[in-house]
Structure 1
Amino acid sequence: MKRFYDTELATFRSQLILMGEKVIERIRLALRALAESDTEIARRVIASDDEIDRLELAIDNEAMRFMNLRAPIATELRLVIVGMKASRDLERAGDEATGIAKRALRLAAEPPILTNDDEDAVHLRQMAAVALEMLREALDCLHDSENNDKAIDIVRRDKVVDKLNKRLYRALTARAAANPAEVNRAIELMFISKSLERIADHATNIAEEMVYLAQAKDIRHAGKQG
Structure 2
Amino acid sequence: MQRLIALALTFLAASLTFGCVAATPSGDGRQLNQSLAQLAGSQEELAQKVERLQDNMVLLEARVFDQQAALDEMRQAMTAQKVTAVGQNAAMTGENTAPAGASAASQTPTEIYLKAFGDYASGRYNQAISGFETFLKVYPSNDYAGNAQYWLGECYYAQNNHVRAIEAFQKVVDDYPRAAKAPDALFRKAEALLKVNLPEQADLALLELRRLYPDSTAARKPLPAR
- Give TM class, smaller chain: under 0.3
More helix by share: 1
TM-score (norm 2): 0.26
* Greater C-alpha radius of gyration: 2
Q: Which has the higher contact order (CA 8 A, sep 6+)?
A: 1
